C-alpha cells in the first residue's frame, strides 16, 4: 500500500512539566507513541517555568519560532498551562496575522510527565486532538480542549466539571469532535497569501482594574512613562470622577481604552477615550499593545482598535 505523505507538526512546549528536561524532549515524546501515527512531530522547548510567568518576551520568542517554521511545518501545537493562556493565544493572533497554518494551543488542568497516569489522560487526548487539527490547514490561532476547537481570541475561561475548559460565542466555535473532527470552514477567518509578522508589542501601558482603592497620586506618576492606558471596569456602570479627571490631565495625549460591558459611550467625553465592549478582556489588552506598537497616534490607535484584525470582534 502506498504510504501517504506525513505532515510535519511542530510541538512547542511552553510550560513546566515535572521531570521534563529541555534536552530530553524526545524521551518525553516517546512515552506517547500514539502521537507519531498522526504526524511527524518536531518538539521544541520554548519556556520551562510555570505558565503564570509567561510574558511579552515569551510571546515574542514563540511567534518568532513559529514564523521561522511556517514553510517547513504543516501546523503548530503549543502546550501551555492555563495561567496566561488567553493572553498568549490573543498575542499570537495579533503577532502572526493572516496565518495560513494552524497554531493550536492545548493543555490540561493536570500536566504531568507520566503519560500512563489516568489523571493525565486529559493532556494526551487534548494533544492528539490538537495535533490532528494542526494537520487540517485551518489558518487560525485556536484552542483545543475537550471536544471543541475555538477561535482563541474570542475565548473565555469556562468553569465547572467539563473538559471544555474554555468557551466562545457560537461563531467562534471552529470545530467539534464527535467521532472525528469536523471543521466549520465557513467560520474560519480569511487570510491573505502572506502572513504579517509583528515581532514586538508595546508593553508600555498602564493597566487599571477599577476598585475603591485606586491611588491617584501613584497613578499620575506611573502615567509619565506610559504610551497608553487600559481600564478593566469589571461590573462598574460608571467611571470614578477622580479617575476621569486624572486621565484627562495626565493621559490627555495617549489613548485610553475602557473595557466595559456596562458603561455607555456617552459618558466618555474626552476624545482620547474609547470604550470596548465587543472583545474579550484578553484580546482587548493585547490588541491595544499591538495597536500602540504601530506608533501612529491616538486617532490611529482608536481606528485600529475598532477594526477586526484577526477575527477578535464578537459579532453577536
**What residue ranges bind another protein (CB under 8 A)?**
1-4, 33-39, 118, 121, 124-125, 128-129, 132, 145-148, 161-165, 176-181
The least distance separating another protein from the CB of residue 161, rounded to whole angstroms, comes to 7
Closer residue to another protein in complex, CB, 129/310: 129
The partner residues of 13 in beta bridges, in order of sequence, read 45, 79
Closer residue to another protein in complex, CB, 35/96: 35
Cα 291 from Cα 302, distance rounded (Å): 8
What does the angle CA 258 – CA 262 – CA 264 come to, to the nearest 5 degrees?
A: 70
What does the angle CA 271 – CA 249 – CA 244 come to, to the nearest 5 degrees?
A: 65
The least distance separating another protein from the CB of residue 73, rounded to whole angstroms, comes to 17
Neighbours of 33 (CB within 10 A): 9
Closer residue to another protein in complex, CB, 85/96: 85
Helices (H), ranges, the chain: 25-30, 56-68, 85-95, 121-134, 216-223, 241-250, 281-293, 297-306
Closer residue to another protein in complex, CB, 180/253: 180
Closer residue to another protein in complex, CB, 76/273: 76
| Cβ neighbours for 248, distance < 8 A, ≥ 6 positions apart | 270
Closer residue to another protein in complex, CB, 127/309: 127
Cα 239 from Cα 207, distance rounded (Å): 15
**What are the grid coordinates assigned to 200, written together?**
514586538
How far is residue 85 from each of residues 15, 41, 50, 105, 216, measured CA to CA in Å?
10, 22, 11, 8, 31
Closer residue to another protein in complex, CB, 23/178: 178
The least distance separating another protein from the CB of residue 311, rounded to whole angstroms, comes to 23
Q: For cell 506610559, name the residue.
A: 226
The least distance separating another protein from the CB of residue 175, rounded to whole angstroms, comes to 12
Closer residue to another protein in complex, CB, 157/199: 157
Neighbours of 194 (CB within 10 A): 10
The least distance separating another protein from the CB of residue 164, rounded to whole angstroms, comes to 4
**What are the grid coordinates assigned to 22, written together?**
529541555
Pick the closest to residue 100 from 64, 58, 69, 143 (CA basis).
Answer: 69
The least distance separating another protein from the CB of residue 11, rounded to whole angstroms, comes to 14
Q: Phi/psi class of residue 146: alpha, beta or left (left: φ > 0; alpha: ψ in -120 to 50)? A: left
The least distance separating another protein from the CB of residue 106, rounded to whole angstroms, comes to 12
The least distance separating another protein from the CB of residue 283, rounded to whole angstroms, comes to 23
Amino acid at each position: 500500500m502506498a504510504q501517504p505523505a506525513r505532515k510535519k507538526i511542530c510541538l512547542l512546549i511552553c510550560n513546566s512539566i515535572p521531570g521534563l528536561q529541555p534536552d530530553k524532549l524526545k524521551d518525553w515524546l516517546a512515552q506517547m507513541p500514539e502521537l507519531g501515527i498522526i504526524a511527524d512531530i518536531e518538539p521544541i522547548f520554548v519556556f520551562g517555568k510555570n505558565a503564570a510567568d509567561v510574558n511579552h518576551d515569551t510571546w515574542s520568542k514563540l511567534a518568532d519560532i513559529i514564523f521561522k517554521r511556517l514553510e517547513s511545518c504543516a501546523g503548530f501545537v503549543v502546550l501551555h498551562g492555563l495561567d496566561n493562556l488567553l493572553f498568549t493565544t490573543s498575542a499570537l493572533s495579533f503577532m502572526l496575522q493572516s496565518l495560513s497554518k494552524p497554531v493550536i494551543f492545548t493543555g490540561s488542568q493536570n500536566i504531568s510527565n507520566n503519560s500512563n497516569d489516568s489523571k493525565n489522560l486529559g493532556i494526551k487526548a487534548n494533544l492528539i486532538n490538537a495535533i490532528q487539527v494542526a494537520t487540517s490547514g485551518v489558518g487560525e490561532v485556536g484552542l483545543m480542549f475537550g471536544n471543541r476547537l475555538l477561535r482563541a481570541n474570542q475565548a473565555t475561561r469556562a468553569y465547572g466539571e467539563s473538559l471544555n475548559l474554555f468557551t466562545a460565542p457560537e461563531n467562534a466555535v471552529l470545530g467539534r469532535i464527535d467521532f472525528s473532527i469536523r471543521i466549520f470552514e465557513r467560520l474560519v477567518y480569511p487570510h491573505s497569501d502572506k502572513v504579517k509578522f509583528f515581532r514586538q508589542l508595546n508593553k508600555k501601558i498602564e493597566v487599571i482594574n477599577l476598585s475603591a482603592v485606586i491611588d491617584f497620586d501613584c497613578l499620575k506618576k506611573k502615567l509619565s512613562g506610559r504610551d497608553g492606558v487600559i481600564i478593566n471596569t469589571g461590573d462598574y456602570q460608571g467611571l470614578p470622577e477622580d479617575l476621569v479627571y486624572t486621565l484627562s490631565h495626565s493621559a490627555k495625549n495617549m489613548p485610553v481604552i475602557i473595557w466595559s460591558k456596562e458603561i455607555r459611550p456617552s459618558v466618555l467625553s474626552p476624545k482620547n477615550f474609547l470604550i470596548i465592549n465587543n472583545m474579550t478582556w484578553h484580546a482587548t489588552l493585547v490588541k491595544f499593545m499591538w495597536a500602540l506598537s504601530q506608533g501612529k497616534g491616538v486617532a490611529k490607535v482608536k481606528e485600529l482598535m475598532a477594526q477586526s484584525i484577526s477575527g477578535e470582534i464578537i459579532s453577536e
